[in-house]
């Protein structure tokens, strides 16, 4: 794909999506949301086995571009801005948030700076998050009197609990990388120097793993929130009986019995 502010590159079986609007700390415009949604859709190709999402110039994503809000309010009044926000959120939710959750492969957010508003939500919807030591997380919505979107009202309380999620929304204070790790918002924190290399190594390891199993367990985890125990157990039974037919599972059990490292190929 070609895009002005969303870069899509391949590193063997790893897809790297980079938000590239440094003058605005990678704040999202409607065109960027559309392009990012297309990039995520492109990652469904079987030759791509893992995805890394990051930003350029020391920022992850500063959320939606509030300047667009002001322009729409001045030109169309509250009705015009309401329609703008509805369209923006709907595209973000359907094409990006659901797109990431429905990808049957791991998606890692490499948070290399500020992740605010919808950028915070974008990081939360990924399967794993690795942050540089100077990364900062802030919901930001309450700062402009706005409700939250991007799936953050679903993901955040599941990561930190309902009371802490409300505090994070209402406090409007940046959360440093180490505290974010303590809260469970990120999996790892790495020094800013060499962060990109470390994040790429982590994502590459995921791409070389049993990605079909990763994807199916991702689905099991996501569906578990709405399932009862018996329903979830039935889903696990169905999944484990079907994974036998994948080459990765057959390679994995052979490698285990032969006391060697498995060579997974994502099929």
In degrees, rounded to 5, the angle at the alpha carbon of residue 217 between the alpha carbons of residues 38 and 61 is 40
Which segments of the chain does DSSP mark as H helices, in order? 30-42, 66-91, 98-102, 118-124, 152-160, 162-171, 177-183, 195-207, 211-224, 229-243, 247-257
> Are 110 and 91 spatial neighbours (Cβ–Cβ below 8 Å)?
no
Extract the tokens encoding 108. 């890692």
CA–CA distance, 115 with 167 (Å, rounded to integer): 17
- Indicate yes or no: pTM above 0.95: no
Contacts of residue 70, defined as CB under 8 A and 6 or more positions apart, other chains included, come to none
Rounded to whole angstroms, the Cα distance separating 3 from 194 reads 27
Return the number of other C-beta atoms located less than 10 Å from residue 154's C-beta: 15
Question: How confident is the prediction along the chain (267 residues), in pLDDT tens digits per residue?
Answer: 567 899 999 999 999 999 999 999 999 999 999 999 999 999 999 999 999 999 998 899 999 988 888 888 888 899 989 999 999 999 999 999 999 999 999 999 999 999 999 999 999 999 999 999 999 999 999 999 999 999 999 999 999 999 999 999 999 889 999 999 999 999 999 999 999 999 999 999 999 999 999 999 999 999 999 999 999 999 999 999 999 999 999 999 999 999 999 999 999
DSSP symbols for 182-215: HHTS-SEEE-STTHHHHHHHHHHHHHTS-HHHHH
CATH of 6-207, one of 3.40.605.10, 3.90.226.10, 3.30.70.360, 1.10.645.10: 3.90.226.10
Nearest partner of 128 among 181, 178, 58, judged by Cα = 181
Please name the residue ranges forming H helices in 92-114.
98-102
CB-based contacts of 221: which residues, under 8 Å, 6+ apart? none
């Amino acid at each position: 794909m070609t895009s002005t502010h969303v870069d899509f590159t391949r590193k063997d079986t790893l897809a790297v999506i980079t938000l590239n609007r440094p003058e605005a700390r990678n704040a999202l415009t409607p065109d960027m949301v559309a392009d990012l949604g297309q990039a995520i859709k492109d990652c469904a190709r079987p030759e791509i086995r893992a995805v890394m999402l990051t930003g350029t110039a020391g920022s992850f994503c500063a959320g939606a571009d509030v300047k667009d809000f002001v322009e729409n309010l001045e030109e169309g009044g509250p009705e015009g801005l309401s329609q703008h926000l509805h369209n923006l959120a709907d595209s973000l939710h359907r094409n990006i948030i659901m797109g990431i959750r429905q990808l049957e492969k791991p998606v890692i957010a490499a948070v290399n700076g500020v992740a605010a508003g919808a950028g915070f939500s974008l990081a939360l919807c990924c399967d794993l998050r690795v942050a540089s030591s100077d990364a900062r997380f802030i919901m930001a919505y309450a700062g402009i009197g706005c409700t939250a979107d991007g799936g953050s009202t679903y993901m955040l309380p599941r990561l930190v609990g309902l009371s802490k999620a409300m505090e994070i929304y209402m406090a409007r204070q940046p959360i440093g990388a180490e505290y974010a790790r303590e809260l469970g918002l990120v999996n790892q924190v790495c020094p800013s120097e060499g962060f990109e290399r470390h994040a790429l190594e982590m994502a590459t390891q995921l791409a070389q793993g049993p990605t079909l199993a990763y994807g199916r367990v991702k689905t099991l985890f996501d569906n578990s929130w709405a399932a009862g125990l018996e329903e979830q157990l039935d889903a696990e039974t169905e999944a484990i009986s079907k994974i036998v037919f994948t080459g990765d599972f057959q390679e994995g059990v052979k490698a285990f019995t032969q006391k060697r490292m498995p060579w997974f190929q994502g099929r």
